[in-house]
Structure 1
Amino acid sequence: MSKKLTITADIYAKPDRIDLVKAELLKLVEVTRAEDGCLQYDLHQDNVDPTHFFFHENWESRAHWEAHMENAHLAAYQTATEGAVADFKVNELTHIA
């Protein structure tokens, strides 16, 4: 049986590319929420550091998230933001309590 997977992603835009990165991240939200296995896909922007964006995601399983990572809209995001992202970190989490 597959276990639900929580993903957090920290994305830091270069200071002069905040608007571009934000616009491209926003394009991901609706299409990803419609994907099979997506339970939650929420985008946040830090109130103090506007270069910092944060996704909180919940997927029915790791397989669903892996399928998401292979979708064309993520490839388009990566192409559109090439050179505009300063740092990116993904955490895979399992809810324990």
Structure 2
Amino acid sequence: MLLIVGTVRLPPENLERAKPVMGAMVQASRAEAGCLEYVYAEDLFVPGLIHVKERWIEQAALDAHFASAHIQAWRASWEGLGIGERNLKVYEVSESRAT
């Protein structure tokens, strides 16, 4: 399994305009084959900071995601929304456990 965790940042005043675009991205990504989880969450204490968490069954599914039309539309929206800072990491996970 692949786990993607990180953040993206945008000007807080653009957040309301970004939400429908982000919602479309999340909904389309969750419908993709191999997507186990896809979440954007607004930070409660840092305006404009969005936490990202994705889980993918395998690299081929993630590769297909990166080639999808909805991710291309999402990336095309970044400049207009002021999304510049992105800090995302991919982790290979062999197992999970409850804490």
Q: What root-mean-square deviation, in Å, do the aligned CA atoms of Structure 1 and Structure 2 show?
A: 1.6
Moved over 3 A (4+): none
Partners of 1:95 and 1:11 lie apart in 2 by 22
Q: How many residues align?
A: 94
1:33-78 Cα offsets, whole Å, 9 max, x none, are 1101001111211001120111111101122111101111111112
Partner SS state of residue 32, structure 2: coil
Point out where structure 2 has 5 or more consecutive residues left out of the alignment.
none
The alignment's TM-score, normalised by the length of structure 1, stands at 0.84
Does 2:90 match 1:92?
Answer: yes
Does 2:68 match 1:71?
Answer: yes
Partner SS state of residue 76, structure 2: helix
Which residue identity lines up with residue 62 of structure 2 in the other structure? Answer: W
Preserved contact between residue 78 and residue 84 of structure 2 (Cα < 8 Å)? no
Query: What percent of counterpart residues are identical?
Result: 26
1:9-52 Cα offsets, whole Å, 9 max, x none, are 31100233222233311111111111010011112110011201
Partners of 2:10 and 2:20 lie apart in 1 by 11
The alignment's TM-score, normalised by the length of structure 2, stands at 0.83
Q: 1:42 to 1:68 in 2, by over 3 A?
A: same
